[in-house]
Structure 1
Amino acid sequence: MPSATALNARIPVYDLLVIGGGINGTAVARDAAGRGLSVVLCEKDDLASHTSSASTKLIHGGLRYLEHYDFKLVRESLKEREILLRAAPHIIWPLRFILPYDEGLRPKWLLRMGLFLYDNLGGRELLPGTKTRKRRKGSRFDVLKDRLETGFEYSDCWVEDSRLVALNAVDAAQQGADIFTRTEVRSIKGEGGLYRAELQNRDTSKTIKVRGIVNAAGPWVDSLLSTIEQSDVKDETTLRLVKGSHIVVPKLYDGDHAFIFQNSDERVIFAIPYEQNFTLIGTTDVPHERPENLPQASAEEIQYLCDCVNEYFETQTTPADVVWTYSGVRPLYDDKAADASDVTRDYVLDLKKYETDAPFVSVYGGKITTSRKLADHVMEKIKHYYPDMGKPWTKNAYFPGGNIPEADFEEFYKSQLEHYPDLDPKLVRLICRRYGTRITRVLRNGVGQYFGGNLTEADARYLVEFEWAEEPEDILWRRTKCGLHMSEAEQSAFKEWFKFANLV
């Protein structure tokens, strides 16, 4: 029988355990692995299965944050906007926003001043600046109510949020990280200058030791601290949970531009082209009590969003028009603001040590736009503990599939039409959008079976092999949004195929 010492020697030791497979956790894992650290990431569900797949899908500076004097956050976000646009032009692209002036709300001079700052705070290079727009026949104001005569047009970016999370994880794995999905961290204990962590997946348990931990568990960041076997861990809760809900309706207008509307409660609402045939409307800000209570859009939120856009669009929207809703819980740092809409969207990194000298960083807040920079700050915070760690590297790096010449997606797409002349050009475009230059891996054996809704067998096999998809929902609603385009019968047929297909 092996001795206890021999058994202990078999326990793998990593430099860093990252807990949470959302945008912040995967960004940290990617950065750390690229600096030469041995990294393991654990996500108790699927990648991007909670907050990170429930965003408004924007890479943006946060125009309304200027009203709260969050200049640092806006400036950092605007700088990151262009870094990410260059790094992943297949899943991130420019989007023009129409902001109509509505008398009685924010004055026109204030809107223009805010947009001037927005254009200049972040060193904008790739995106066009703000333009003043007026109603005229054939203009983008035609779909708006007659009282709206003028406004502004400015730039931000769209992002496929779940895919950005997956690409962070793919890049982390390429750098040597171990990615464990559907794996929960059941306990953590300081031991001999390290942390000992017990992991549990569907079938087995596993023990590892780590030289540091990053707690990026999102809404569960505070509750995860209870897994630490130390009686005096009684930190005051510093998390503010805020639910944001979105609705999807049939397309309300033609064009590839978005709208941002002021509301009488001083919030702003977006209406954005979505998945070719729809308009995405959001979001709300509603206090949420417990992370284990999975969020759903309430009837009140749905009506609120309908009412907001009905103040602006000639075409009226009712709850009966809603084809899909989704909700997420934003794990914001609690700065004690009275209103959920006023809580800071900036992130806070809390470094502690529990029963050992090894670092334990908890991540509060953050947003998709600042995820790369957040990861860089995490590494800066813990570099003292890893003297051999490499230098920062992600600022000029591509995401997998993002190495498109000159970040010119349209030229890349045209080149792929020549490679795949027998495929429907619309399908080629969608596959280019999902995978960028990795299209050759996806289509290496052809498209295979077609399931409807722009989903192919090639998608499914690739996503299982390279992106940790384990369930049909992982593919239908996170790695892609094909579920939105499929009938119930088509979805059922895909799920049945998935059950019996030899995918691993």
Structure 2
Amino acid sequence: MNREIETVDMLIVGGGINGAGIACDAAGRGLSVALYEQQDFAGATSSASSKLIHGGLRYLEQYQFRLVAEALAEREVLLKKAPHLIMPMRFVLPHQPSLRPAYLIKLGLYLYDRLSSRSQLPASKAIDFHHSGILQSQFETGFEYSDCFVDDARLVILNIIQAKQLGAKVKNYCQVIDAKEVEQYWLVTLYDQVNHQTFQKRARLLVNAAGPWVSQFIDQKLNVESEQKVRLVKGSHIILPKLYEQPHAYILQNDDQRIVFVIPYLDRFSLVGTTDQTYQEATHQVEISKQESLYLLDVVNRYFIKQSGIQDIIHSFSGLRPLCEDKKSSAQKVTRDYKLVLQHANNSAPLISIFGGKITTYRKLAESACKLAMPFFPQMKKSWTAKTPLPGGDFNGTPEQLTSQLLQSFNWLDKKIARRYIAQYGTLAWQLCGNKKGLGEFFGAGLYQLEIDYLVKNEWVIYPQDLLWRRTKLALFLGEKELQKITKYFKNSPICKGAMSAKGEIKD
């Protein structure tokens, strides 16, 4: 056995929210951890969600009470772990008697308020829409309840940062070429797509957190048969100009018994989604169809006074949810619960594969994965993530108060920029600003050289799209000339040079 090959306790394949959460939890328990992602961290499903931390009100109709209760409990935990990143939000549900009777909605909201302790969010209530000026006149009454909004990709990055702080080795744009069992270890061959290098790692335990590629990884890289089947469900969203000024979201019922969210987004937009379509095509390029766009527009236009068309769509995105196959005929009825499968027979090297899950319950999923791994690592420490803040979340008070403190520390900051820095970085904003005396070169939409350099140095930004679509969402605010200027900076800056390949053009 080659002694030059490094051995780790746990090697994780996949840098979405589940892989990031497991890496963070396991590293904090004292294991040596390595995590590799074939694209960018949060480059697939974990940056294409509805960006909600929620219990899932509609799952109550499917009697998934355990899932809802766990998600509601996690909502409270995550609010405390990342108070700068996760925002409480009120959700308005217009009543449409032909779809669901009022008593059924009241019962659902009663359960939603009581399935878990709710110390930080107000209870649900009935509301009146007369003279609202937002909804069409036939919607006269409705209900309001609490959930939370999150920047999903940044939640992944915070877990990656914390995993690294705890000793984990992490790398994006690094693909697993092969994994095979050799003398009760996993011998994993990897290809670094940035530096064009192939290398190997040994692992005592392999975690398959490949998301939509979970079954494909088992079949093609491990050459073993998967014990759990997965159903890929495509969820698509559109971004429209702001439909209303109020800070609350809407949850709209549709004739097909689905619901569609309309969520205030980045001060200037409304985020609308999602669809649910069983998906059987290639997983590397997932895009919204015209049919999906028209579906979402039709739902929105039946509720709102302000009408929208295809020409109003500013941006769209789609993601694949790898759900546990439970033989349900409808994609919307397939469970959003997760399942962890441990394969370990005849003293073979253990493999844990992650099927299903939702962003709200990623931390509990990570705890479950560590619990499965515990028999192989007697030295593993106890669970710890429930009461430990994520990087940037270690402060008391409100984000507004933290913004004021940042402005006092760096009087050369503009208030609008300081507010965004706190929302994205929390207390890490002090590290971002460092001992600098200014913001440096300006690229548009509040983006300066200071932030680009910080993200390249500290948050694994390789290409402009990593910066503009996942570490931030500033691509939505930038024009073509500004995007070209950013690309030029990535190619020529001493800090960025070498971090971008010849094909590192800006794209979604």
**Aligned equivalents of 1:226 and 1:448: distance in 2?**
49
Deviations 1:132-188 (A, max 9, x none): 111244xxx320011111111110000000000011100000000000111111111
**Aligned equivalents of 1:82 and 1:71: distance in 2?**
17
Q: Does 1:215 align with 2:212?
A: no
Residue in 2 that maps onto 1:120: 114
Residue in 2 that maps onto 1:321: 312
Q: Does 1:204 align with 2:197?
A: yes
Q: Tell me if the contact between 1:26 and 1:172 (Cα under 8 Å) persists in the aligned partners.
A: yes
Residue in 1 that maps onto 2:500: none
In structure 1, which of residues 11, 17, 31 is the aligned counterpart of residue 5 of structure 2? Answer: 11
Which residue identity lines up with residue 53 of structure 1 in the other structure?
A: S
Q: Tell me if the contact between 2:301 and 2:307 (Cα under 8 Å) persists in the aligned partners.
A: yes
**Aligned equivalents of 1:500 and 1:448: distance in 2?**
15
Q: Tell me if the contact between 2:219 and 2:226 (Cα under 8 Å) persists in the aligned partners.
A: no
Deviations 1:317-356 (A, max 9, x none): 1111001000000011111110000000000001102785
**Aligned equivalents of 1:115 and 1:503: distance in 2?**
52
Deviations 1:222-251 (A, max 9, x none): 111134555xx2336601000000000111
Which residue identity lines up with residue 205 of structure 2 in the other structure?
A: G
Q: Does 1:480 align with 2:461?
A: no
**Aligned equivalents of 2:93 and 2:225: distance in 1?**
46
Q: Does 1:453 align with 2:437?
A: no
Which residue identity lines up with residue 479 of structure 2 in the other structure?
A: S
Q: Tell me if the contact between 1:99 and 1:153 (Cα under 8 Å) persists in the aligned partners.
A: yes
Q: Tell me if the contact between 1:219 and 1:291 (Cα under 8 Å) persists in the aligned partners.
A: no
- In structure 2, runs of 5+ residues without a counterpart are 497-508
Q: Tell me if the contact between 1:188 and 1:227 (Cα under 8 Å) persists in the aligned partners.
A: no
Q: Tell me if the contact between 1:88 and 1:399 (Cα under 8 Å) persists in the aligned partners.
A: yes
**Aligned equivalents of 2:183 and 2:343: distance in 1?**
16
Aligned-residue offset at 1:422: 3.1
Q: Tell me if the contact between 2:227 and 2:341 (Cα under 8 Å) persists in the aligned partners.
A: no
Deviations 1:411-461 (A, max 9, x none): 212222222333221111001111100111111223212211222212211
**Alignment length (residue pairs):** 492
Residue in 2 that maps onto 1:194: 185
Q: Tell me if the contact between 1:191 and 1:355 (Cα under 8 Å) persists in the aligned partners.
A: no
Q: Does 1:69 align with 2:63?
A: yes
**Aligned equivalents of 1:237 and 1:38: distance in 2?**
28
**Aligned equivalents of 1:170 and 1:443: distance in 2?**
18
Deviations 1:16-54 (A, max 9, x none): 000000000000000000000000001001000000000
Q: Tell me if the contact between 1:220 and 1:291 (Cα under 8 Å) persists in the aligned partners.
A: no
Q: 2:303 is paired with a residue of what secondary structure?
A: coil
1:51-90 equivalence runs, <5 A: 51-90=45-84
Deviations 1:83-142 (A, max 9, x none): 0011101111101111111121111111111011111111111011112111244xxx32
Distance change (3 Å), C-alpha of 1:87 and 1:268: same
Q: 1:405 is paired with a residue of what secondary structure?
A: coil
Residue in 2 that maps onto 1:439: 429
Q: Does 1:21 align with 2:50?
A: no
Deviations 1:450-482 (A, max 9, x none): 211222212211111111110000001111000
1:89-100 equivalence runs, <5 A: 89-100=83-94
Q: 1:344 is paired with a residue of what secondary structure?
A: coil
In structure 2, which of residues 489, 493, 507 is the aligned counterpart of residue 501 of structure 1? Answer: 493
Which residue identity lines up with residue 404 of structure 2 in the other structure?
A: K
**Aligned equivalents of 2:355 and 2:335: distance in 1?**
11
Which residue identity lines up with residue 210 of structure 1 in the other structure?
A: A
Q: Tell me if the contact between 1:22 and 1:218 (Cα under 8 Å) persists in the aligned partners.
A: yes
Q: Tell me if the contact between 2:128 and 2:142 (Cα under 8 Å) persists in the aligned partners.
A: yes
Residue in 1 that maps onto 2:283: 292
**Aligned equivalents of 2:240 and 2:482: distance in 1?**
20
Q: Tell me if the contact between 2:406 and 2:430 (Cα under 8 Å) persists in the aligned partners.
A: no
Residue in 2 that maps onto 1:415: 405
**Aligned equivalents of 1:423 and 1:13: distance in 2?**
45
Q: Tell me if the contact between 1:34 and 1:393 (Cα under 8 Å) persists in the aligned partners.
A: yes
- In structure 1, runs of 5+ residues without a counterpart are none
1:93-492 equivalence runs, <5 A: 93-137=87-131, 141-202=132-193, 203-228=196-221, 230=223, 233-235=224-226, 238-353=229-344, 356-406=347-397, 408-444=398-434, 445=436, 446-492=438-484
Which residue identity lines up with residue 325 of structure 2 in the other structure?
A: D
Q: Which moves more between the two structures, 325-334 or 236-245?
A: 236-245
Which residue identity lines up with residue 14 of structure 1 in the other structure?
A: V
Q: Tell me if the contact between 1:28 and 1:378 (Cα under 8 Å) persists in the aligned partners.
A: yes
**Aligned equivalents of 1:409 and 1:350: distance in 2?**
40
Which residue identity lines up with residue 15 of structure 1 in the other structure?
A: D
Deviations 1:388-409 (A, max 9, x none): 0011000001110011214x22
Q: Tell me if the contact between 1:143 and 1:253 (Cα under 8 Å) persists in the aligned partners.
A: yes
Structure 1 segments of 4 or more deviating over 6 A? none
In structure 2, which of residues 33, 40, 47 is the aligned counterpart of residue 46 of structure 1? Answer: 40
Which residue identity lines up with residue 68 of structure 1 in the other structure?
A: Q
**Aligned equivalents of 1:219 and 1:291: distance in 2?**
11
Deviations 1:266-286 (A, max 9, x none): 000000111111110000001
**Aligned equivalents of 1:478 and 1:229: distance in 2?**
30
**Aligned equivalents of 2:304 and 2:336: distance in 1?**
29
Aligned-residue offset at 1:290: 3.7
Q: 1:245 is paired with a residue of what secondary structure?
A: strand
Aligned-residue offset at 1:305: 0.3
**Aligned equivalents of 1:291 and 1:342: distance in 2?**
23
Q: Tell me if the contact between 1:453 and 1:484 (Cα under 8 Å) persists in the aligned partners.
A: no
Q: 2:291 is paired with a residue of what secondary structure?
A: helix
**Aligned equivalents of 1:256 and 1:421: distance in 2?**
29
**Aligned equivalents of 1:257 and 1:226: distance in 2?**
44
Q: 1:190 is paired with a residue of what secondary structure?
A: strand
Distance change (3 Å), C-alpha of 1:293 and 1:465: closer
**Aligned equivalents of 2:175 and 2:326: distance in 1?**
29
Identity %: 44
